[in-house]
Structure 1
Amino acid sequence: MPFPDPESLAWDAASGLLPAIVQDADTLRVLMLGYMDRAALQTTRETGKVSFYSRSRQQAWTKGETSGNFLTLVSMQADCDDDTLLVLARPQGPTCHLDRTSCFADAPGSFLAELDQLVQRRDLERPAGSYTTSLFEGGIRRIAQKVGEEGVETALAAVAEGDDALSGEAADLIFHLLVLLRARGLSLEAALSVLRERHRTD
């Protein structure tokens, strides 16, 4: 797990507190801004739960210790001046005390990653009446058939229909592809990692 060397950080220049920007590791949505001292950094590393130092209460705290909405650490890095931290985490519920995903109401993020997370929940929970549930319960062959059908319809729309039709068919194809990946135990990230590797070697 990428993690900064505490001794390389500019604690003295920042009066012992470094701002820590927290992003959702999957959607990259900015979730919150907190401050860390050396103890909070150590607690975060040891427990895997993102912890901070409260300037108003003058005490250490772990996000989620009262609400249960913890931030599970994925990685952390320092900026070029070693005086600000970027934390990637997976939220276990809303991050904001107003019960919102982010403390920044309109913080941008990857909708495709959010959709992939929704597909994962549908696979795990299988709510009745859900179209996604019906796809999973139809089995891998049926899902694969749907991807094939949507692929053909997307190609036909590209050569014979307008932009709106093509956009609609492309959306259908992407959605069913996410379901197919999940049905095989994979995720959007599995495909993206291949694309990243190809990009590096292209």
Structure 2
Amino acid sequence: MSLPTDPAALWSTLTPGPDGLVAAVVQHADSGEVLMLGYMNAEALARTLTGGRVTFWSRSRQKLWEKGETSGHTLELRGLHVDCDADALLVQAVPRGPTCHTGAPSCFFRPVGEPPAPRPSAVFEQVFAEICERKAGRGMTNRDGKSYVRELLAAGVPKIAAKLAEEAGELAEALAETDRDHVAREAADLVFHALVGLAHADVALADVAAVLERRMGRSGLDEKAARTQTAASPADPDDPSPSG
């Protein structure tokens, strides 16, 4: 059952605690990673819904707090769910930079016991987020104040395309060997430079994922044939002959 999107009407369906707050768990809208826990009152929820940026009520400062208002590491709202007891929210958002004040992508970075291997999608999200941070002029550089990513982005498509061709060639050579680690390293180099290319073109990982999702469950041969047919079709849909 869907709930009202009007802030006041939605708040009336919730069951806040004695302090007038509901817990708000923030989840990455694309990767599913849990990013942080905050609290909202009626005004914070209204600001979040109307402004599109996740806003909390700071219990320590007793004031509204838009995530990233000073650091620029905002949370762009993508979805909202209410739990069964109506006293907690699941906020789905896209982070602009690291969520935690320590610089970590998520506030939940301290494992109890041996941590599991990170999910590939989470790693890609983190690397892409750091690349976007460099593009925005933020983040760590080397001791000389330089950034490889920023230099690539500043050089533009010719330099990025050359690096992609170079890394693709090195991966092709590695595939002919039996060294799995070498293949993994060369593949990582190629993926990294592909992510730089996406950032340069302002293409989100979600856009790429959406294309792959549309292709799932369909023969790769059929999909390729359809693309070839579309590319070869005449520019004028009313003209059946390419030559007129």
TM-score using structure 2 length: 0.61
- Residue of structure 1 in register with 2:39 after alignment: 35
Name the CA distance, whole Å, in 2 between partners of 1:124 and 1:73. 16
Secondary structure of 1:31's counterpart equals: strand
Name the CA distance, whole Å, in 2 between partners of 1:66 and 1:134. 28
Q: State the Cα RMSD in Å.
A: 3.9
Q: 2:213 aligns with which of 187, 196, 202?
A: 196
- Residue of structure 2 in register with 1:182 after alignment: 199
Q: Which runs of 5+ in 2 are unaligned?
A: 112-117, 220-244
The code of the aligned residue for 2:39 comes to Y
Shift of 1:44: 1.9
The code of the aligned residue for 1:169 comes to E
Secondary structure of 1:11's counterpart equals: coil
Q: 2:81 aligns with which of 72, 78, 82?
A: 78
Residue by residue, what CA displacement relative to the aligned partner does 1:58-80 show, whole Å, maximum 9, x if unpaired? x6632459866674442232156
Q: 1:154 aligns with which of 145, 167, 171?
A: 171
Secondary structure of 1:106's counterpart equals: coil
Shift of 1:46: 2.5
Q: Which runs of 5+ in 1 are unaligned?
A: none
Contact residue 21 and residue 33 of structure 1 kept, 8 A: yes
Residue by residue, what CA displacement relative to the aligned partner does 1:138-158 show, whole Å, maximum 9, x if unpaired? 431232122122122212212
- % identical equivalent positions: 35
Name the CA distance, whole Å, in 2 between partners of 1:144 and 1:93. 25
Q: How does 1:58-137 map to 2 (within 5 A)?
A: 61-64=64-67, 71-79=74-82, 81=84, 83=86, 84-91=88-95, 95-96=99-100, 101-106=105-110, 110-125=122-137, 129-137=146-154
- Residue of structure 1 in register with 2:238 after alignment: none
Residue by residue, what CA displacement relative to the aligned partner does 1:162-190 show, whole Å, maximum 9, x if unpaired? 11100110011101111222333324333
The code of the aligned residue for 2:195 comes to L
Contact residue 8 and residue 82 of structure 1 kept, 8 A: no
Name the CA distance, whole Å, in 1 between partners of 2:73 and 2:133. 18
CA gap of 1:41–1:13, structure 2 versus 1, over 3 A, is closer
The code of the aligned residue for 1:76 comes to G
Q: When the two structures are aligned, how many residues end up with a matched partner?
A: 199
The code of the aligned residue for 1:61 comes to L
Contact residue 25 and residue 36 of structure 2 kept, 8 A: yes
- Residue of structure 2 in register with 1:171 after alignment: 188
Q: Which has the higher helix share?
A: 1
Contact residue 97 and residue 130 of structure 2 kept, 8 A: no
The code of the aligned residue for 2:65 comes to T
2:52 paired with 1:20: no
TM-score using structure 1 length: 0.71
Q: How does 1:46-65 map to 2 (within 5 A)?
A: 46-53=50-57, 61-64=64-67
The code of the aligned residue for 1:196 comes to E
Name the CA distance, whole Å, in 2 between partners of 1:115 and 1:93. 10
Name the CA distance, whole Å, in 2 between partners of 1:51 and 1:26. 20
The code of the aligned residue for 1:168 comes to R
Name the CA distance, whole Å, in 1 between partners of 2:70 and 2:3. 28
- Residue of structure 1 in register with 2:48 after alignment: 44
